[in-house]
Each structure stands twice: as C-alpha cells, then as structure tokens.
Amino acid sequence: MQKYDSRPFLTYSIIAILLMLGLGLVLAQLTKNFVADVIEERVKNEAQYLSEFVNDASDLQQLDESSRQLNIGMIYVTQEKEVLLNNTEDILRLSNKEMTTVQHFITDSDGNFSDYQKGYLREHMFFYPIQTNSSSLDGSLILVLKISSLVNVTSNIWLIIGITMFIGILVMATLGRNIFEKYIKPIRSASGVADELAKGNYRARTYEGNFGEAEKLTTSINVLARNLQEMTMQKQMQKDRLEAVISNMGNGLMLIDEKGYIHLVNRAFLESFGGSSSDYLGYLYYEAVKEEEIHKAVKEVFMTEETVRNSFILPLQIERRFLEVLGAPIINHEKEWKGVVLVFHDITELKHLEQMRKDFVANVSHELKTPITSIRGFSETLLQGAMEDEALREQFINIILKESERLQSLIHDLLELSKLEKEGFHLNIESVSLKELIEDIVPIVEQQAKEKDITINQNIHEGETIRADSARLKQVVMNMLTNAINYTPQQGEVGIELHSNDDYMEIIVKDTGIGIPEEDIPRIFERFYRVDKARSRNSGGTGLGLAIVKHIVEAHEGWIEVESEYQKGTAFHIYLPKKFTKT
C-alpha cells in the first residue's frame, strides 16, 4: 500500500488524545467527588447515630464493637488530645503508610473538630470527625474508612478511556487512510501533475479510478496533459521538419525582420559566406554581410515590396563563386509587413558549364577551321597551276592528306566523346587480364618511341582478372602511352606499371617529359585544353584524349589522379575496381 502524508493524522490523533485525557480527568474527578459524597453521607449518618451513645468511658467498648460490626475504624480523642479509642489498624488492616496518615490526621487537627459536618479525604482514606457533648466525656469521635473502591473506579475509568482512545485512533487511522486515498491523494496527485505541466513536462499523468469530484478532476487533468503532449509533439515535429528542410537546403537562406535584424541563416549560407550563426543572428544585415549587392537587394525589396533578383561574385580565397540572390517580402494574412527572405543560389557550376560550352564551340570551330583552311588553300593553289609542278603537287597533296587525316581524327574523337556522354552508353563487360592487355599494346607504340629514342620501361606484375570492357581499356592505355611519348623529349623515358590492391587495380603511366604546371592540372581533362598548344598541334593531338580517358575510367567506376612537376615529368594513376557493380 502506498504511503500517505501522516501530518494530518498525527495532528488529529494528538487532539483526540488531549480531549480524551481531559475527559478522563473530569470523569475521574467527578467520580471521586461522587463516591466521596456517598461515603460522606453514609458515614455522617452513622457517626451521628453512634455519637448519641457516647456518655462515658464505658460506652467506648460498645462503640468498638459497633465499629467492628460496621467495618468502620473509630478513633476517640478527648479535648486534652488523649486518644481513648483507636481500632483502625485492626479493623481496616492499615499499612505503615496508612497508619502514618492516620497519625498525621490526629496530630494536625490538634483535637479541634468543631466543623463536624465536613469529611476529609486523604490518601484514599476518608476521615469524618464529629463532636460529642457528653457531660462526663467531652471529645471527638472520628470515623475512618478506606476508599479502595475509589481507586478501582478511577483505574477502570482510565482503562475505559484508554481502550476508547485506542479504538478511536484506529478508527481515525482507517477513516483517515480512506479519506486520503479517495479524496486527498487524488487532489495532491492532480496538483503535482498540474505543477509538472506548468514546468513543461507534458508526459506527467495522475492515476484515475476514483469517484465523485476527485474522479472528474483527475480525468480532466489527464485529458489536458494528453492534449498538451500531443500538441507539443505536433509542434516539435513541425519544428524539426522545418529545421531539417532549412538546414539541408542546397541554397543559402537568410531571414530579416521588418527592422533589418537577421533572425535566421541556414547551413548552406554559412558554407558560402563563412563564419557561424552567432556572427549573423541578432545583427543588422548591413553590419553582418559586407556584399553591396545583397544590401541593394534588401533595400529594393523594402522599397518596392516585390521580388528582386540580383547576381554577384563572391571571392573566396583563390577562387570565385557566382551567386544569385532572390529577395522576397514577407507579408502575413493581415497584410502586415514582417520582413524579407533572401535565397542564395550558387550558379558557379552553371557559369562554368556555360563557359565550357562557349570554349567548346570556339575550340571546335578553331580546330575544324585550321585543317579545312589548309585543305582549301592548297587545293586552290593546285587548281591555279601548281599542279603542273610535279614536286610542288606532291608536297601539296601530302599536306592535304595530312590535314584530312587530322580532320578525320578530330571528328572521330568528337563522335567518340559524344557516344561516351550519352545516357544509353553501356560497356561490354567481360573478364579482362590487364597484364595481357598492356603487353598487347606496348609493341604497338614501341615504333613511335624508337623514332624519338624513348625507352619504355615495364613493371607489370601478375595482375588479377577484372570485370571490364576490354576495347575501352585498350583505348585508355593507348591514349596514355601515346600522350606520354608525344610530350617526352628525345632520349626520354616512359614507364608503365601495374599494381594490385585489395579492391582496385592500379595502372601507372609516367614519363620524363615537359610536365604540367600546377595551375593547369585541374583543367587538363577539359575538352581541347592544351598546356602547350603549339606542341600539341605539332604532335597531331586533338585535345580530346584525356577527356575520353576520364569518361571511360569513370564509366568503369574508377578514377584517375595526376602527379606532375613542370619540366620534370608526369605520372597518371588509374584506379579500376576489381568488381564491376553497374548493370
């Protein structure tokens, strides 16, 4: 059984005990007085009756006999304080203490018992003196009676009071517990739950199952708690969803109130502009953000109350990012102005793609224009009479053939690159031994290397079989070896290595050629990009080889890395997975 607060029970118990003690004292005193009055009345009548027989000393013998018959002790004291009769010890069987009480009563009275209508109660002994007026014998007759019944009655009264008190306390405890369980405890529990609800703990509940008003109270409190908890959960869910959407937006977001103070920035905004949220929240927008285009956009929204779109460049260390800011006014249902929301779109990639498209069109136009112009020019020269000169004719025809081959190679690479970039492009996956594939390709490029007195070094260990497109990988290795030979000067070295890792096969193609400047490395895989444009054209390259290589490697779920030092050499690391997971 659950414990309950004992303070009210203790208070009521103490009050009941005090009341019962007071009642006991009153009853004991009333009983004592009643018994004393009854005894006094009896003794008074007997004393008056017996006093009439006292005439001389010879009558004392008769009094002694009468006292024994009445079982009442008698003491006769003369005026000279002489005790002529005292049979109290024999009749009443007094103890030493009681004898002392009798002696003290006789001594203290000094024989003066003129007030014969009054009795004396001392130590549960009743003394009733009466004056005798005999001519021969003058003194006082004292009747003594032990009142043991008074002690018993008093004891019984206290016993009854004690039993009644015990039963009353048990009844009070039972009733108190019942009242507490049915009324006080539910109210206290409801009060405690109300306090918890006030503190924001909406999971608190009070127990139900009572009756009457307490049941209504606890039921109402629980219904209130459940409603508050449900409302809080829905509000928290909406808040979490909103925070998740805002935090994970790909675009930066800034919320400014009607006074110009920043109230919200998301993660994408901080990634673009740097700093933490504490650097922006609570500050005026023109103090926290330094870009003038943003200031203009906010001012324009405030003035026009319409959506505004601006673009600007955000410098970040060595790179630049192109951002587009979209500002819109915040107006509630009551048409009240609440502030401005700014959304920042990172259009850097779009700018780069647009620039690449422009460069691609320009490069294709330039690359096609050069051989076509050469072919047309030499053809016109031949038609104008140079055909008659056999040596000149042969020279021009060879140039036309060379330029047409270059034009054919360029168109072929463009078609190949276009095919690789198509969505429907797929690889012919089969088991391929990279060791055998490389050993088949090296003899093909050895003749080209011998013409420049370049040594090809091979470091090919036993390679594992992988799942790949054999024809496309041959194209990759051929392109890499051809580039290495083309960009390596006379008497240089070109190396090819094959290594096996846990999950990947690594092909390394390195040379001792002209190298690549550090600032050009990120762009070497772009179409038509050349580090040394004159050398590239002289070598017959189209500027599309590395772009094709990158697309083929990535189609195999691999990647390519470059290490280069200008004028010292370059190393390309191609990583191909052993297991091809695409279908």
**CA–CA separation, 236 vs 18, rounded Å?**
59
pLDDT tens digits in sequence order for the chain, 583 residues long:
444 455 666 777 777 778 777 777 777 777 767 766 777 677 777 766 666 666 655 667 777 777 777 777 887 777 777 778 787 777 777 777 778 777 777 776 555 554 444 666 666 677 778 777 665 566 777 877 777 656 666 677 777 777 877 887 787 777 777 766 666 777 777 777 888 878 878 777 776 656 667 777 777 878 888 888 888 888 888 877 877 787 777 788 888 988 889 988 888 888 888 888 888 888 888 888 888 888 888 888 888 888 888 888 877 655 677 888 888 888 877 777 888 988 888 887 887 777 777 766 666 676 677 778 777 877 877 777 777 777 777 887 887 887 787 777 667 766 766 666 665 567 778 888 888 888 888 888 888 888 888 888 888 876 678 888 888 888 888 888 888 888 888 889 999 988 888 888 888 999 988 888 887 777 777 766 666 554 444 455 556 778 778 888 888 888 899 988 888 889 999 998 887 776 5
The phi and psi torsions of 231 (rounded to 5 degrees) equal -65, -40
Residues ≥6 apart with Cβ < 8 Å to 113: 129, 130, 131, 140, 142
- Cβ contact 461:498 at 8 Å: yes
SS3 77: strand
**CA–CA separation, 555 vs 321, rounded Å?**
29
Torsion sign across C-alpha atoms 285, 290, 291, 293:
positive
Single pTM value for the model: 0.43
**CA–CA separation, 559 vs 551, rounded Å?**
9
Q: How far is CA 85 from CA 74, 112, 263, in A?
A: 7, 17, 116
Q: How is residue 60 written in tokens?
A: 């004392």
